[in-house]
Each structure stands twice: as structure tokens, then as C-alpha cells.
Structure 1
Amino acid sequence: MTESVALRRRRARFRTDGKGWIFVGPFLAVFALTFLAPIAYAIYLSLFRDQAFFGGTVFVGLDNYADVLRDAKFWESFLRVLAFLVVQVPVMLVLALLAALAIDSARLHGSSFFRIVIFLPYAVPGVVAVLMWGFIYGNNFGLAADLNELLGTTAVQPLSQRWMLPSIANIVTWEFVGYNMLIFYSALRTVPGELYEAAAIDGAGTFRTIRAVKLPALRGAIVIATIFSIIGSFQLFNEPNILRTLAPNVITTYYTPNMYAYNLSFAGQQFNYSATVAIVMGLITAVIAYIVQLRGSREAL
């Protein structure tokens, strides 16, 4: 009798869970087709190589991955975006944090206006933003050329070899400060008012309130924004790819890993090696993002 009751309960639980699959199923199907299937196909491509003289493809196992690890162009592009990440991401997040704290402060008049103004660049399409800044950076036209003509010098060269990466960093910072500011500001709005009242009773000033109340509340948001920024830095493509038309001698076809994979595939017709570069870069990005998330979670505890 007991076994019969237990069996009926298991069947009822299965029927209940089965109804959930009806709702989850469409999402899983789309997820598998748009995310898992392309990854699986890229992994499949990375295991083969085109035969130069005989035509067709041949299975090479992990040889393509070994070639990527020995590829000087890949590591040059990777180290470039790594340097970009180390400098640009902290600057961008600090600016976004300061903007969020200022807007959240009751002392800033017109906070809604400033919130919209700071967020507005994120609403500009990325291609349009790069084209706009490209005209500003131009050596023969735009603001940079006008400044050089006014000063009678050629010191302002945003598209030169020395200043290209900072120029790209400036564009990315301009685009995404507002996005990260909104993440931080949303986290600040969830802080209970009782904490501010307790800090005021304890005699805490503005900076002490920020350090003791607001920054701890922002820890999770900072981790999320950092992870998003790391992923975005390793995916750097639009800005250098568009600016390449203005500075072809400075921005190479392998200026970033994404540009390298793109040009290998669409210009060099090396689909197998391009897929390998993309997978290796994806694995590196995932590992670094996971380490940041793990470290941030431990500090939160």
C-alpha cells in the first residue's frame, strides 16, 4: 500500500514537472539553435584543416589549437586588448561610479537631466559613434586637424601609432560610462533608507557614508559591470575595424583577436583556423570572467 502511494506521488510529480517543460521548451529550442549549435559547429570546424594542394579538408585534431598558441599575430592582438582592458576598464568604471554617486546625492540639482545626458551616448548606435569620433580624430579634417592648424603644429595626432589605442579607449569610455552608471545607480536605489538614517545618527559625513554604506551595497553591481566590461574588451571589434579606413597603416588586420578571426574567415577564407582563434579567445575570456566573479563573490562574503 505504501509503495502504491509513493508511486502515485512520483507520477503526479512527473506530470507537474512535465507541464513546466512545456513553457521552458520553446526557450531551450531557440537557445540550442542560436547558441549551442553555432558553438558546436565552430568546435567541429576547428578540428579540420583545408588541404592547400589537394583540396578538401582533413581532420587534424588539436593541431589548429597548437598553431594558435604559437601564433605571434594572435598573441600580439591579445596583449593589445589586455592592455586596453587594464587601463580603460578601471577608468570607465570609476567615472561611472562617480557619476552614479553624484546623481544619487541629494545635493545635485537636476539629477534626472544629468542621468539622461550621461546615458545618452549609450543610445547612439556603435557604428555612428565611431564614425562621429573618426571625423573628430581625422588628421586632414575635423577637430584634430583644426587644432593643429590653429596651433601651427602636428602634435594632435589621435590616429597615430602612439595614440590609436587611447583614442579607441576614449570612444568606448564615452559610449559605455552611461550604461555602467545606470547599473550602479540602480543598485544605490535599493539601499534601505534606514541605513542612511543610522549613519546620520552616528554622525557619519558624506564620504564616510559612501565608504560604509554605499560602496558595500555596490559590490555586486561592480562585479557585474567589471565582468561585462572584460567581455566587451576582449570582443573589441567595431571601433578599430571602422577606424582602419582612416589609419590603415596603424590598424592591422590582426589589431584585435576578433578582427583577426574576422579577416581570417572573410578575407583569407581560413574558416577552420578562424574558428579555432574564436574558440581560444572565448575560453580565455570565460576563464578570466569566472576568476573575477569568483573573487568578487568571496569578497562579498
Structure 2
Amino acid sequence: MTVVSHREDRVQAARSQSSPARSRSRTGSWRPASGHVFVSGYVVLLALFGLVPALYSLYLAFTDASGKFSGVKNFTRSAKDYRFIPAVQHVAVYLVLWLVTLTIFVVLLALVVHRLTSRRTKAVLRFVYYVPGALAGASSVLLWLFVLDPAVSPVSKLLRWTGNDNFAQVIVPNHLPAVFTIIAFWTGAGGWIVVLYGALNTIPTELMEAARVDGANAVQTALRIQLPMLRKWIAYMLILSLAAGTQLFVEPQLVSQASFGIVGNDYSVNQLAYQYAFSQNDFNGSAAISIDLLIVALICAGFFVARGRLFETD
């Protein structure tokens, strides 16, 4: 027994000496460089097209046209613009409608797809949900402008039944947050349904079986097991959707061009920043508005990260 044990010790020592990389990776003192190479492309692009423009916007926001430091004058001047508060209100109403609608219906549809037993039905539904996202943003808006025109819309009877007899009545400013929410949900919800469906598949089968054995029905299982385990994914969805929603531009811009003056070209905050830069030649004021959007997005994202426990490992 002693000879065998000594032989096993020598074999184990030889293995550890022949594969130092493996032993180091187990102890955590060495990490392969392939991971850093894999993410390097994204890091470079993020620095060039994310961090550098943000830093340049900060520089413009705190300087005047001559490049001299101006403090917060650009921020106060843009905030006092009579178009600023209405634009903020428009985007705020849209974001509330968009995020609430997205959370409720995406989670519900993902749970329904996951609950189905037929693999073929699941595959078909995932494909159908994802197809609208293949359309580019501008193409999707143009398609919806066609749908919302009672004169040519395939749902013209429904539009007239709701009291909208012509295109001008459909796209009045009070209707636009709901219209933009419908467009955004139609184009963006499908991808998130697929993401949450994949997250549902990561829930351990033993946990779901235990819930069934304990007599939990579908609603109880969703509320007490699935939704808590989807918290991080929902928070991630809300952060990215919030970032996209604060940059509302394409939809109101196309509507303003198609409405013949009914909707102005300063409906959203991003449109107002565009007007500052390219109509008024005031890049410093435009940068200040952009920084305002960035600050609001970062604060809201921090709230979602904290509530969703996005970076907790337990």
C-alpha cells in the first residue's frame, strides 16, 4: 500500500508540473489572454464612438463658441428655451408608456411561449415575434404611417370607429406617445421576448419540478419562481430600452415631415438638440442638451441596476 501511494503521489506531482497553466487557472492566479483579445474589438469601438464623443460633448457643453470656459451657461440657456420643457414632457410620457408596456407584455409573452409544450410551436412563435425587428427604424415608421392613415390603412374601420377620420386627427401631439409606443413595441419587443425566453430556459428543471410537486399552478410558479429569477434580465432590458427611448428622434422627425406642420421638428429632446446644432449653429447648446439626456439616462440606469441586483452573483 505504501509503494502504491508513493507512486500515485509521483504521478500527481508530474501532472501538476507538466500542466502549470491548468493549475494556475484553477487557483485563479492566471487568466488566458484569449478573453481579452475577444473583447478588445468592442472596447476599441466603445472608446472611439462612445467615450471620445462623450468627452468632446462635455468639452463643448462647458465652453462657448470661442472655446472659453463658460460654466453652466449653456445648460441654463437651453433649459430656458420655451421648447425644452415640452420636449422633456413628451419624451417622459413616451418613456413611461414604453417601459411599462414593454415590461408587462414581453414578460407575459415570454412566459406563454415557455409554457407551451410543442417545440415546433415555440420555434414558430419565436420567429414571428422576431421578424418585425428585422425592419430598420425608418422603414418601420413609414410602414406605420401608412397603417395610421384612414384613407389607405387596412384597419381604417378601426381608426374611424375610434373617432379618427383622417391622418391629421391620428397624429395630433396628444396621440403621439401612444403611437410611438406601439411602433417601438412592434419593432423591439420580439428580440426581448427571445432573450427572456432563453433566460427562462436557464432556470433549473429540478426547481420547476419541485414547484409542480408542491402543487403550484402556472401563475404561482411565474410569480414566485420565474419572475424573481428573471429580475436581472428585466433590469438589463429596461436599461437598454431606456437608453434607446431617451434618444427618440427618427419617429417624430418622420411624423413632422409627413404632418405638414401639425407636429413640429422639436417634439423630442433629441430633435431639439439637432435643431440647436444644425439650424441654429449652436453646437455648445446642443452638447449641453445631450449631456442632460446622458445624466438622466445614467441616473435611471443606476436605479434599475440597484433594484434589479444586476451585478450580484448570489
TM range (shorter): 0.7 to 0.9
1:43 counterpart letter in structure 2:
L
User: What one-letter code is carried by the residue in structure 2 that aligns with 1:239?
Assistant: E
Tell me which residue corresponds to 2:205: 193
Q: Judging changes above 3 Å, is the alpha-carbon distance between structure 1 residues 104 and 43 closer, same or farther for their aligned structure 2 residues?
A: same
Distance 2:100 2:148 in 1: 24
Bigger Rg, which one: 2
Partner-residue secondary structure (3-state), 2:83: helix
Alignment of 1:228-247 (within 5 A): 228-247=240-259
In 1: Cα distance, 2:272 partner to 2:219 partner: 46
| Displacement after TM superposition at 1:288 (Å) | 1.4
Alignment of 1:109-124 (within 5 A): 110-124=121-135
Write the distance in 2 (CA, Å) between the matches of 1:58 and 1:158.
Answer: 47
Which residue number corresponds to residue 13 of structure 2? none
Q: Structure 1, residues 130-186: CA drift from partner, whole Å, max 9, x if none?
A: 111111123554346676789997277321233222112111111111122122111
Q: Distance in 2 between matches of 1:118 and 1:194?
A: 29
The yes-or-no answer on 1:47 pairing with 2:58 is no
> Once the 2 structures are TM-superposed, how far is the Cα of residue 57 of structure 1 from its aligned partner?
5.7
Are residues 1:94 and 2:104 paired? yes
Output the amino acid matched with 1:135.
F
Between the aligned partners of 1:182 and 1:168, the Cα distance in structure 2 is 22
Q: 1:151 to 1:64 in 2, by over 3 A?
A: closer
Secondary structure in 1 aligned to 2:202?
A: coil
Query: What displacement does 1:107 show?
Result: 4.4
Unaligned 5+ runs, structure 1: 1-15, 51-55
* 2: CA distance, partners of 1:26 / 1:208: 44
**How far 1:225 sits from its partner (Å)?**
1.1
Partner of 1:69: 79
1:162–1:225: structure 2 CA closer, same or farther, 3 Å change rule?
same
Structure 2 CA distance for partners of 1:186 and 1:25, relative to 1, 3 Å: closer
Q: Does the alignment pair 1:275 with 2:287?
A: yes
Q: Mark the CA change 1:243 to 1:143 in structure 2 (over 3 Å): closer, same or farther.
A: farther
Q: Distance in 1 between matches of 2:35 and 2:194?
A: 35
Alignment equivalent of 2:175, drawn from 149, 152, 163:
163
Taking the aligned partners of 2:116 and 2:106, their CA distance within structure 1 comes to: 18
- Tell me, in whole angstroms, the C-alpha distance in 1 between the residues paired with 2:181 and 2:69: 40
SS in 2 for 1:72: coil
Q: TM-score, normalised by structure 1?
A: 0.82
Aligned residues: 280
Secondary structure, counterpart of 1:255 in structure 2: coil
Partner in structure 2 of residue 135 of structure 1 = 146
Give structure 2 stretches of 5+ with no counterpart. 1-29
Q: CA deviation at 1:287?
A: 0.9
Alignment partner for residue 271 of structure 2, among 252, 255, 259?
259
Change (3 A) 1:297 1:91: same
User: Do the aligned residues in 2 keep the contact of 1:80 with 1:256 (CA within 8 Å)?
Assistant: yes
- Tell me the CA shift for residue 234 of structure 1: 0.8
Superposition RMSD in Å: 3.1
Q: 1:236 to 1:20 in 2, by over 3 A?
A: same
Partner-residue secondary structure (3-state), 1:79: helix
- For residues 36 and 131 of structure 2, what CA distance do their matches in structure 1 show? 40
Give the SS at the match of 2:171.
coil
Q: Which SS does the other structure have where 1:68 is aligned?
A: helix
| CA spacing shift, 1:127–1:196, aligned 2, 3 Å | same
For the residues of structure 1 that align with 2:184 and 2:96, how far apart are their CA atoms?
Answer: 14
CA deviation after TM superposition for structure 1 residue 219, in Å: 1.1
Hey, what does 1:5 align to over in structure 2?
A: none
Counterpart Cα distance in 1 of 2:186 and 2:141? 10
Match of 1:217 among 220, 229, 234: 229
Whether the 8 Å CA contact 1:262–1:274 is kept in 2: the answer is yes
Q: One-letter code of the match for 1:244? A: S
Choose from 231, 239, 249 the match for 2:261. 249
Aligned with 2:48 (options 13, 23, 33): 33
Taking the TM superposition and a 5 Å limit, the aligned residue runs for 1:198-209 are: 198-209=210-221
* Letter matched to residue 64 of structure 2: R
* In 2: Cα distance, 1:219 partner to 1:282 partner: 24
The whole-number CA distance in structure 2 between the counterparts of 1:266 and 1:180 is 35
